[in-house]
Amino acid sequence: MTAPLDERSIRRIALTALAGTSIEWYDFFLYGTAAALIFPKAFFAADLPPVIALLASFSTFAVGFIARPIGGIIFGHYGDRIGRKKALVVALVLMGTATTLIGCLPTYAAIGAAAPLLLIVLRFAQGIAIGGQWGGAVLIATENAPPERRGFYGSFAQVGAPVGVILANLAFLLISANTSPEAFMQWGWRVPFLVSVVLIGLALYVQLRLEDTVEFLKVQTRAARAPRSPVLEALRTHPKQIALAAGAFLAVQVPFYILIAFVIAYGTGTAGPAVSRNTMLAAVLVGAVAMIPALLLAAAWSDRHGRRGVYMTGAALLAVWSFAIFPLIDTGSFLWICVSLAVGQMLVAMMYGPQAAFVAEMFSTEVRYSGASLGYQLGAILGGGFAPIIATALLAEYRDTVGISIYMAIACAITVWSTWLLGETAGSRARAATASTSTAAR
């Protein structure tokens, strides 16, 4: 039961992790696109100034990130205690249910202030789900992979993020192209949310067809089982890794959410140059497509040459590119907007690709779900959750995008410093299951 898996089984598990994260991130990113295009008008008072309504909408977007560490704690505990698979299944069902219900919500015009309140509750549920899902999907992939290919197979779970962006934007593009502007705002935007019910079906497949990870099952057969409180044990034995992991993720989180959410509002004229909604959605889609091969190549490279070097290089280059993104969008040219977003996302991919293995290798098996989830989700709340709000506020205050570029560059600088302090993890035994958590702490 705990014997190493053959290559075919590993590929099947990696592809299942890819499917799960793709649909889960599709659900999560749908909200970001809708927060930029629909929610300011649908869920807030019509007499609010556009910038205030956009800030309010992005604030509900941030609620999901506030919930993510809570989800990491809850699912990390159960993922380390009862298994990666069971925790992942519950997270998938929760996300599918919350997203489908968002598509059923009445608007502000129908029920007044209760509309944004219900939206916040369901967004919080989405955050809880994504907080638990990421750790489960990443560990399902990395803990079943051979050590020398942990980066590559772990990246399949990471590919779900750009695939989710592609699916979310395609969904809105298809609905927008086949409905009038009035119909799109009245009911068309709901369709992509309602489709999320398929995630519940995928959860059933995972429950019925997959075993738990090889490394977790090894731990379960020995005395070195997970502690009573894996989260507290992770905080006690790995505080440095958790804190620095959060810092290392800032250069992924801040630019990524600016590149998929804020730029849509900026480009369509809410706060910047007037470009059509479909043009910006298509450009974001192109950026996500460009991210996929870059992500896989960066992960494979990290297996051969180490995680830290490629990760730091991506952050440093992205700090420089941050100052080119908005001038290229300001041209109004679809080609240059695509270049702006595609290059930005490819540089994000240099970090996001090796990230799954990088994080998994920081923690011992007994507390890995908790430690990895805490580090990742703390970085998410500090970076991604507030990035669109901060970018909108900086633009409103200074009437210029230079402040946003400086903000992105600072996040990249923190990532370079944090990654340097973390050290190299490739080639490690990923904190073998038989090692005690006390000796795993650095």
pLDDT digits (tens, 9 = 90+) for 117-163: 999 999 999 989 988 888 888 888 888 888 888 889 989 889 988 99
Long-range contacts (CB closer than 8 Å, 24 or more residues apart) made by 322-328: 322/255, 322/404, 322/405, 322/406, 322/408, 322/409, 322/412, 323/402, 323/405, 323/409, 325/259, 325/263, 325/405, 325/408, 326/266, 326/272, 326/401, 326/404, 326/405, 327/401
Compare 71 and 365 and report the one with higher pLDDT.
71
Per-residue model confidence (pLDDT) at position 220? 65
Q: How confident is the model at residue 429 (pLDDT cuts 50, 70, 90)?
A: very low
Tokens for 243, please give them. Answer: 């804190």
Compare 349 and 61 and report the one with higher pLDDT.
349
In this prediction the pTM is: 0.82
Question: Does the structure show a pLDDT above 70 at 167?
Answer: yes
Third-level CATH fold of 7-440: Growth Hormone; Chain: A; (1.20.1250)
Question: Does the structure show a pLDDT above 90 at 320?
Answer: yes
Per-residue model confidence (pLDDT) at position 219? 67
Tell me whether residue 380 is exposed, middle or buried, using C-beta atoms within 10 angstroms of its C-beta: 0 to 12, 13 to 18, 19 or more: buried
Mean pLDDT is lowest, of 22-26, 93-97, 113-117, for 22-26
Per-residue model confidence (pLDDT) at position 382? 80
Sign of CA dihedral 418, 419, 420, 423: positive
Query: Using one digit for the tens of pLDDT, what is the confidence trace for 71-92?
Result: 888 988 888 888 888 888 888 8
Compare 3 and 122 and report the one with higher pLDDT.
122
Compare 424 and 221 and report the one with higher pLDDT.
424
Long-range contacts (CB closer than 8 Å, 24 or more residues apart) made by 6-13: 9/144, 10/144, 10/145, 10/146, 10/153, 13/140, 13/141, 13/144, 13/210
Average pLDDT of the chain, as a whole number: 85
In angstroms, the CA 267 to CA 287 distance is 15
Tokens for 91, please give them. Answer: 């997270």
When mean pLDDT is compared over 83-87, 211-215, 265-269, 297-301, the highest value belongs to 297-301
